[in-house]
Structure 1
Amino acid sequence: MATLSPNATSALAPTPTDDDLPRRFSDFATLGEALDYAARGRRGLNFHDPRGTLVHSYLFAELRDDALAMAHRLVAHGIAPGDRVALVAETGPEFAALFFGAVYAGAWPVPLPMPTSFGGKDHYIDQLSVQLASSDPSVLFYPPELAEMAAAAADKCKVEGIDWDDFAARTVSEAPLPEQRHDEICYLQYSSGSTRFPHGVAITHAALLNNLSAHSHGIELQDSDRVVSWLPWYHDMGLVGCLLSPVANQVSTDYLKTEDFARRPLAWLDLISRNQGTTLSYSPTFGYDICARRMSTQMKAKHRFDLARWRVAGNGADMIRPDVMRAFTVAFAADGFDGHAFLPSYGLAEATLAVSIMPPGEGIRVDMVDEHLLSGAEPVAGQRPRQRAIVNCGKAVKDMAIAIRGADDAPLDDGAIGKVWCKGPSVMAGYFRDPESTGACLVDGWLDTGDMGYLKDDYLYIVGRAKDMIIINGKNYWPQDIEWAVEQLPAFKAGDIAAFSITADNGEETPAILVQCRTTDDAERARLQAEIKDRVRAITGMQTIVELVPPRTLPRTSSGKLSRAKARAMYLSGEIQPFAIGA
């Protein structure tokens, strides 16, 4: 860290929650202007080790100094306005300084994923290569520990690769920096599902700051608030919600690296317990799930945590499961956690981040919906309809409009299920160099989100992804329901199952389920396969193809979500080879 601000590591006291600088809620023309203002105060970013010990406090003023130095280095290196600057998004001051440095230089930073625990070296090189080919950057910056893989991807795409520690050590040559404009592109964000066929979402300064203002308004940001986050900075919720929003709204933030959370999930709750203010912290459903599962009876008896100041426990980025939220509330009620702190939301990178947010304090609210309304099938006479809990994802954020449209794109009435569309100043400019895909989802300023849902009393309920829907004999099935059914069996957990439809030899659509299996006993595998089939048939009434596959086989998106589309393609191509049970 000596290559950044000389005093960046001099004090290990966290940046304060309170500040005399008057709060401004993202009312800036550009992101650079937002950092300029935040740098006038005493707040900043705080980085913690795997056990939650503070190792680096980073004032916004220090971030601005480092970012300006990086901007001058970039200009001296030949980076011009509009050039893409790819950055491996490691949670730390180096990435933050380079990201804002690229912005000050008029370039477009492109956050790219860190390696995950699955897939291995070759998979990561391929993943980086695909997104490098799509974004066509002038340079790729990476942390020294990833030099081998990142350099290999850069070389494969004929992109210059630079160790960011080496770059930070270069002499700063003062030169005029280009003026930023609010209607210019600020950065490229790769949306979820973009691992194989990437879509670089182009976000302007104006769109970003509008959404950040709407987000702070939606969560009713207070002077006593402080953010705690482990979310990755290459995903919109981590980058926009937990890095750019704290800068534009002047909020001190405490970080754990994503990989450290994965190894020790409860370190997240430890950090919240030690928080110096009221806490804002977000997670997809699986983060709450893994924490609740890690709590033993002994831990519950010790009241290990202090979660009473957790004001906003945000939930988004994936389907919200009320059973998980209930389990988390029960697990941590004795530690002061109040279930009303849950704040469901809905958003996507194509809308910068937030589309809808639940009003704070309302918690998880569900709507019980008859399955036949979700599937489009006729109810069976004399049978009590099966119901599914659909989570309320709140109301449209400030300046955003939401509409539900049918198959003919005509607006639907309250309560009718259809495609979710949204329109507002924070909708993307388009997909980078992909006018066909842009035109397919942007129509007269309205964005087709690709999600299915309905509105009721101005509240948005998300049912699932339209593209993932399984349609058998004219009846619609959500893969999440099938996957959830298998997850209830003791041998499996969330993320082990991918459900999708395939075309059988007779030409009919058939549901298929890939299940990651850890047992090596062939008889046990056969028993599990039969149990899965029975379980799914009992809940959905469907006969299914069940294939057991090795652990770490199912593909993920850049943000770590299950990619059903890719799993289906890999299965049909033979790239995923199931266990030969009973052979």
Structure 2
Amino acid sequence: MPDLLRQPTIASIQRSDIEADPRITTITAALRAVAEYPVNPENSHGVIVLDGRGGAKRLSYPELWSAARTVAAGLRQRGLKAGARVLLLLPTSEEYVVTLCGALLLGTMPCTVAAPTTRSKADEALRYLGYIYDKLDPALILVPEHLQATLQEHPGIDAHRVVTADDVRGEAPLATGALPMIRAEQPLHIQLTSGTTNKPKGVVLTHHNVIQNVQAIARAVDFVPSTDSGLSWLPLYHDMGFIQLLMAIYYQSSMVLMTPTSFLRDPLSWLHNIGRYRVSITAAPTFAYSLCLRKFDPGKLTGLDLGAWRRSFVGAEPVPLGILQQFTDTYRPYGLHDDTIYPSYGMAETVLITSGPTDLSHNPRHVFGFVACDRIDPELLRTQGRAVPSPNDDMSSPRSIEILGMGPPVKGLEIVVQDEQGQVVEDRVVGEICVRGTSLMQGYFQDAEATTLAVRDGYYHTGDRGYLVDGELYVLGRIKELIIVRGRNYQPFDIEAVIEEHEAVRKGYAVVFGVYNAEQGTDDMVAVIETKVAPEERPPMAQQIQQSLQTIFGFRAHEIIFVRHGTIPRTTSGKPQRVLSKEWYEQGKFKA
């Protein structure tokens, strides 16, 4: 095994060499090892930050090691010690990466938070930040210069704690010998849950948790540090974006960071950068693939080469088969492989990934690549809580629904499905998905009640409904979002999919929820739809949707509310927040 701390050049290092080295049990130890003795003697590996305007800044790992120690020196000068919380409101940038690593080297607990981006949502963002501030009691809040005065004037925040990245840069790098010894069981960071309300929980994750999950991701995709590279446009307050960065640092692989706004402004720029930088590993929520389909324009894709793109994680609920098939078919002429798309299931409480597909060649539900689909009878699902394979071959019939396979649990994790009494159920019986293992969180920050409720008998109760088939997981949705109409259970996404079949409704632009009707003893289903349709055209549109619902499900919506785009609350990954939407509805916040 190569000696990572002593060998001057290790250009042929393997993933197993890093994973097996007993000294690299923390991200900070990995940063030191890979920075002082880089895999590539020319230091070609590092982090590249694209500014969205055509500019790129490259930070090699030796440069990151030095710059991070300068930040560690500045933080120590301000009195910060291991365990102190640090909020990072910095955008995707070189200074974010450096500041994050500096905070990690000192043993503090960084927590990345979304900063206010528009005036229209500034008040909402500040209320959110105020809640996080009260919850975590951070020693410092690192902000861009243009936000410093605004946050210093916030009545609930100590102005002296609000500083910029420049304010915490020391005069010289902290000497290696002066850095604290970080242990694997120490907290690495606090990850905020996307949540179903505007009050997220703080997931405490240790270095051991993170490294175990990062290694599981690497095994799932046969990651090779010397040749594989990553790219992410996701916000770094999102676990999918944050862990991709930590994975690159741990394995000393190349990582390209795009700003979220650059992707949203031009989704095809994601694909162009994948081709330009010969990126092999990426991850994105479902809506990113859908957006690239809507924006598809051969005239803007001249010269695009996706041949290096080996794996692309996709996760959200649900992951629709049609979008994955169409995306693969559409971009195959540009070099996209049939096995690039990689559906997976995960959550902040297990760091990132919980399950992912393996070899599907002998799986009877295999569709293409790493995609497997179980076609089940919706009536038996609603009435018996069982996922019975549908005998109907006509996929256009409401007698069959498609549920994508999320694969078996990754190494180090175990998945079981339990009923309401906490008993493990057999294959194809629907229940709550429960997880335990090496990357399971330590708990929610200073919230013993929520932790005890979520983690019982060693298992984290996810709140997701699903079932297992031959060890592979199939996810149905959130338990608390279930709509019960006349004794039958309906998944919101099934109803939303029917609504989105209307030509004037885009996918992902409808949200449904149930409001209990005590007089009738059942849920009233309410639909909120974002649309640009003129007001005079909405009544006939509503009637068409109601007719479709009646035909497919045997009931109509109690109410359909049309709202402008951007009204429905969403998580950091773009998923509609159904529980919060229900709260807004009950508070009368939705206005046509």
Same fold, TM-score > 0.5, yes or no: yes
Could you state the TM-score of these two structures normalised by the residue count of structure 2?
A: 0.88
1:574 aligns with 2:574: no
Judge which range, 144-153 or 65-74, deviates more: 144-153
Counterpart position of 2:6: none
Corresponding residue to 1:32 among 3, 28, 32: 28
1:364 aligns with 2:371: yes
Opposite residue 95 of structure 1, the aligned amino acid is: Y
Judge which range, 121-130 or 390-399, deviates more: 121-130
Opposite residue 206 of structure 1, the aligned amino acid is: H
1:238 aligns with 2:249: no
Counterpart position of 1:337: 336
Q: CA deviation at 1:479?
A: 0.8
Opposite residue 346 of structure 2, the aligned amino acid is: G
Q: Determine if contact 1:237/1:317 at 8 Å carries over to the other structure.
A: no
Counterpart position of 2:364: none
Counterpart position of 2:307: 308
Q: Determine if contact 2:512/2:525 at 8 Å carries over to the other structure.
A: yes
Opposite residue 109 of structure 1, the aligned amino acid is: P
Q: CA deviation at 1:146?
A: 3.4
Q: CA deviation at 1:54?
A: 4.8
Counterpart position of 2:352: 353
Q: Determine if contact 1:344/1:363 at 8 Å carries over to the other structure.
A: yes
> What pairs with 1:30-429 in structure 2 (closer than 5 Å)?
30-39=26-35, 40-41=37-38, 42=43, 43-50=45-52, 53-115=54-116, 120-153=121-154, 155-158=155-158, 160-172=160-172, 174=174, 176-193=178-195, 196-222=198-224, 223-240=226-243, 242-276=244-278, 279-296=280-297, 298=299, 304-359=303-358, 362-376=369-383, 386-429=399-442
Opposite residue 354 of structure 2, the aligned amino acid is: V
For the structure 1 residues 530 and 248, does the alpha-carbon distance in structure 2 shift closer, same or farther, using more than 3 Å as the test?
Answer: same
Judge which range, 382-391 or 283-292, deviates more: 382-391
Q: Determine if contact 2:107/2:182 at 8 Å carries over to the other structure.
A: yes
Root-mean-square deviation (Å): 2.4
Q: Determine if contact 2:128/2:199 at 8 Å carries over to the other structure.
A: no
Rounded Cα–Cα distance in structure 1 between residues aligned with 2:375 and 2:490: 16
Q: CA deviation at 1:337?
A: 1.3
Q: Determine if contact 1:86/1:112 at 8 Å carries over to the other structure.
A: yes
Rounded Cα–Cα distance in structure 2 between residues aligned with 1:419 and 1:141: 39
Q: Determine if contact 2:206/2:441 at 8 Å carries over to the other structure.
A: yes
1:502 aligns with 2:502: no
Opposite residue 220 of structure 1, the aligned amino acid is: D
Q: Aligned pairs, how many?
A: 552
Corresponding residue to 1:514 among 528, 535, 538: 528
For the structure 1 residues 158 and 306, does the alpha-carbon distance in structure 2 shift closer, same or farther, using more than 3 Å as the test?
Answer: same
Judge which range, 314-323 or 180-189, deviates more: 314-323
Q: CA deviation at 1:281?
A: 0.9
Q: Structure 1, unaligned stretches of length 5 or more?
A: 1-17
Rounded Cα–Cα distance in structure 1 between residues aligned with 2:385 and 2:405: 25
Rounded Cα–Cα distance in structure 2 between residues aligned with 1:152 and 1:229: 33
Q: CA deviation at 1:149?
A: 4.8
Counterpart position of 1:532: 545
For the structure 1 residues 389 and 238, does the alpha-carbon distance in structure 2 shift closer, same or farther, using more than 3 Å as the test?
Answer: same
Q: Determine if contact 2:374/2:404 at 8 Å carries over to the other structure.
A: yes
Could you state the TM-score of these two structures normalised by the residue count of structure 1?
A: 0.89
> What pairs with 1:3-18 in structure 2 (closer than 5 Å)?
none
Counterpart position of 2:453: 440
Q: Structure 2, unaligned stretches of length 5 or more?
A: 1-9, 361-368
Q: CA deviation at 1:496?
A: 1.9
For the structure 1 residues 36 and 99, does the alpha-carbon distance in structure 2 shift closer, same or farther, using more than 3 Å as the test?
Answer: same
For the structure 1 residues 477 and 235, does the alpha-carbon distance in structure 2 shift closer, same or farther, using more than 3 Å as the test?
Answer: same
Rounded Cα–Cα distance in structure 2 between residues aligned with 1:117 and 1:480: 30
Rounded Cα–Cα distance in structure 1 between residues aligned with 2:351 and 2:499: 34
1:438 aligned counterpart, secondary structure: helix
Q: CA deviation at 1:403?
A: 0.6
Q: Determine if contact 2:190/2:204 at 8 Å carries over to the other structure.
A: yes
Q: CA deviation at 1:398?
A: 0.9
Q: Determine if contact 2:71/2:173 at 8 Å carries over to the other structure.
A: no
Counterpart position of 2:469: 456
Rounded Cα–Cα distance in structure 1 between residues aligned with 2:18 and 2:415: 23
Counterpart position of 1:556: 570
Q: CA deviation at 1:575?
A: 2.2
Cα deviations by residue, 1:226-252 (Å, 9 ceiling, x for unpaired): 112111111111111x11111112210
For the structure 1 residues 65 and 195, does the alpha-carbon distance in structure 2 shift closer, same or farther, using more than 3 Å as the test?
Answer: farther
1:480 aligns with 2:476: no
Rounded Cα–Cα distance in structure 1 between residues aligned with 2:494 and 2:470: 26
For the structure 1 residues 452 and 263, does the alpha-carbon distance in structure 2 shift closer, same or farther, using more than 3 Å as the test?
Answer: same
1:340 aligned counterpart, secondary structure: coil
Rounded Cα–Cα distance in structure 1 between residues aligned with 2:75 and 2:168: 10
